[in-house]
Amino acid sequence: MIISIKPWLEMAESMNQGQGKRGVSDGGVALSRDYELEALRLESELRRERNEQPLHFETMSRMDFYHKPVMGQEILHALRPVSGRQVFDGTLGGGGHSEMLLQKGAHVIGCDQDDDALSYASRRLEKFGDCFLPVKGNFARVDSILKDLGIDGVDGMLMDLGVSSHQLDEAARGFSFRADGPLDMRMDQGSDLSAKVIVNEWSQEELADLIWKYGEERKSRQVASAIVKAREESVIETTFQLVEIVSRVIPRVGRKNPATRVFQALRIAVNRELEVLEEGLKNAVEALSEGGVLAVITFHSLEDRIVKHFMRNASAPFLDRPEWPEPRPNPDYCLRLPNRKAIVPSEEEVHTNPRARSAKLRVAVKR
């Protein structure tokens, strides 16, 4: 089903007149509009006057705000974005993938929980008019988002997991150890849980378990102990403080920063990334029309393992166990896999875009 953007925007505004808010209740949907961009500019100025961290609005005119999308040609081949097809981009980011899909004639609903991403992508893609609809929300709630929009199903869904280039490059977001910034790591900046809260308030045992489970760091217990010892002297507030603490326990080997796995673990925990992914995969299948395509790009083994197992389980017509006399029909059988193995970026792409080196693309089609 193809919908025009402007009528829905007008409907959403009329629904919220006198309520002092935007979007539709209970669905987590908020539309990104030009007036929202102006409001963000004003908020940024107010923050400066209060000597608070301003919004990074001055950077939004730069075309290098976000780097080029990973595995763009492979995504186009998988989603087949011709005129008349509607695609849900669940991780809009800077709009790179969405722009490629729109250029091929598809209608795109771009969803992101990051205000910076929505603001930038909305301006970048406004030239496509009614073919593009930006929505604030989490892709895990794709079913309720589409329901609120009055859409029964989409022809394709994209999930490009992980942190965007802009989030990595902006020190104030706290995702990166390349530049000093506050320990934040929230993709949704309205969320209460930040990396600072975890590092300074969680118990040593909880920290150790988190770093091992989500970072697969073998020295997780030593790192947790060092963090607890350091925070007894003073609050750990910045990324460089944490890097320095971790470096006491894990020596640098080669070019890899010793805090890489610790930062990954914290980011995953702060944003509930793995739980959100599991929920999003289930809801994505429900949101797809028959023949619709699900394309997921992962960047580390924890994500890829979840996607691989989900797609394999949902594409098996029968289930079999040693204790069963014969195989049984799989009640979750709803997908077919065009490729049994993950698709990886070309050597040329990795050379021109190093951030693509760990990417894996898995594709499934709804039966």
State whether 42 and 116 are in the same domain. Answer: yes
Could you tell me the CATH number of the domain that includes residue 333?
A: 3.40.50.150
What's the confidence (pLDDT) of residue 127? 95
Range of the domain at 139: 5-166+274-366
Which of the residues in the chain have pLDDT under 70?
A: 1-67, 162-172, 174
- Among candidate residues 272, 303, 318, the one where a domain is terminated: 272
Are residue 9 and residue 149 in the same domain, yes or no?
Answer: yes
Distance of alpha carbon 281 from alpha carbon 1, whole angstroms: 21
Place of tokens 């509930």: 272
Determine the Cα–Cα distance for residues 147 and 149; give it in Å rounded to an integer.
Answer: 5
Give helix then strand counts, H and E, for the chain. 15, 10
Residues 121 and 234 in one domain: no
pTM, 2 dp: 0.78
d(CA 227, CA 234): 11
- Residue 112 shares a structural domain with residue 211: no
Last residue of a domain, one of 272, 306, 333: 272
Residue type, position 88, single letter: F
- CB of 185 closer than 8 Å to CB of 267: yes
- Split into its structural domains, the chain has a count of 2
Torsion of CA 109, 112, 118, 120, to 10 degrees: -100
Confidence at residue 220, expressed as pLDDT on a 0 to 100 scale: 96
Alpha-helical regions (H) of the chain? 5-16, 34-49, 72-79, 96-103, 115-124, 142-149, 165-169, 195-201, 204-215, 220-233, 239-249, 260-271, 273-287, 301-314, 347-352
> Are 293 and 331 in a shared domain?
yes
Residues 26 and 44 in one domain: yes
The domain that holds 197 is classified in CATH as 1.10.150.170
Q: For residue range 44-53, list pLDDT tens digits in order.
A: 555 555 565 5
- Whether residue 314 is found in the same domain as residue 262: no
Q: CA 128, CA 319: separation in Å to the nearest integer?
A: 46
Final residue before a domain boundary, out of 272, 294, 319:
272
Can you read off the two tokens belonging to residue 177? Answer: 């150890």
In 3D space, the residue among 236, 258, 239 whose CA is nearest the CA of residue 247 turns out to be 258
Q: Quick one: DSSP state of residue 58?
A: G
Q: What is the pLDDT of residues 72-104, one digit of tens each?
A: 999 999 999 999 899 999 999 899 999 999 999
Question: Residues 196, 278: one domain?
Answer: no
Q: Who's near 338: CB < 8 A, 6+ residues apart?
A: 78, 363, 364, 365
- 108 and 83 together in one domain: yes
Query: Are residue 245 and residue 280 in the same domain, yes or no?
Result: no
33 and 156 fall within a common domain: yes
Residues 298 and 354 both lie in one domain = yes
Q: What b/e readout covers 233-244, taking b as 16+ CB neighbours within 10 angstroms?
A: eeebbbbbbbbe
